[in-house]
Amino acid sequence: MDQHESIIPSHRPVHSPTSESQDLRSRNVPWFHEMPGNIPPAFRELLENYSHIPKGDVERHLIEMRNIAWEIQPMPCLGRFLFLELHLSTRDELYPVVLERLLGGARLLDVGCCLGQEIRKLIYDGAPAENLVGMDLEPRFFEVGHKLFKDADTKATFLGADVVKWNPQMEALKGSFDMLQLCMFLHMLSWDNQIVAIKNLIKLLKPVKGSFFAGESAGHVLGIAREATWNKLTFRHNVASFERLMREVAEDTDTKWDVRASLVLGSGRTNWLDTDNRRFLFHVIRL
């Protein structure tokens, strides 16, 4: 175990250079890149073979769609083309399990799905589209996703909802999913809102042994609260802090979970503000 993982997480925010007042849609910021650079092979394959975009048009198409999404919500993951990183399929211990269960009729909810790139990867790899649901706070992303992947006729469904606020749309889906995918989403919430969100998400899972939620978020070796781009108080986990959070969730919901988590270096682009930033991987299985 990394020596930092035993440190008790602090709830006092670390101030980020990105929290200064500014025009957030300005392209004159460090987290807006005009060009995508090297397009990851898996994403390029998805656009060429799933979306049938000619090889020579891929970069232009990506830039055009990213710029539309940026005007909707200028998030760093869009500005820096980080949405081109397909996370779930890189989890060698998890992705085959997800695909097998989907092929067997299980349902998956992609929470914070953004443009729906993880869902398209699952469909491309053989998962039944009708078993996949994407959910995001910003429903205008869904149309951009359809244009990006040229699949307005997909049988996958998309739902605009705020996971911190239980609502009728979520009530209608209560207890209907076998798996939840949370990709680069959790670190956008404060500690308290993460607890609320996870409690709500647990309600969406089938209350049976083996149902699970898994994903990836921005992490930190110390497990710290920090102010992020929108002057929002957020929390970045290490293993110890996430285990502590899940103990609180389990106690409050009278549930039991097998919590598996780790910090990894990731692509390296997560270190642009703080050399102690990491990618945080988690897989939480109901017992």
Whether pLDDT at 6 is above 70:
no
Q: How confident is the model at residue 26 (pLDDT cuts 50, 70, 90)?
A: confident
- Report the candidate in 164, 158, 139, 143 with the shortest Cα–Cα distance to residue 65: 143
| Structural domain spans, the chain | 3-21+88-286
Predicted TM-score (pTM) of this structure = 0.90
Specify the pLDDT at position 5: 36
Higher pLDDT: 13 or 75? It is 75
Inform me whether the pLDDT recorded for 228 exceeds 80: no
Q: How many separate helices (H) and strands (E) can be counted in the chain?
A: 9, 10
Tokens of 99: 């695909």
* The CATH number, out of the four listed (3.40.50.720, 3.30.2010.10, 3.40.50.150, 3.40.50.2300), of the domain defined by the range 3-21+88-286: 3.40.50.150
pLDDT of 272: 53
Of 2-6, 110-114, 184-188, 243-247, the least confident:
2-6
- The answer to whether 229 and 200 have CB atoms below 8 angstroms apart is no
For residue 175, pLDDT over 90 is answered with yes
Check: CB of residue 280 under 8 Å from CB of residue 236: yes
Contact 229, 24 (CB under 8 A): yes
| Dihedral pair phi/psi, residue 22, rounded to 5° | -170, 170
Share of the chain above pLDDT 70, in %: 88
Average pLDDT for the chain: 90
Average pLDDT over residues 259-284: 82
Name the burial class of residue 17, with classes exposed (0-12), middle (13-18) and buried (19+) by CB atoms within 10 angstroms of its CB. exposed
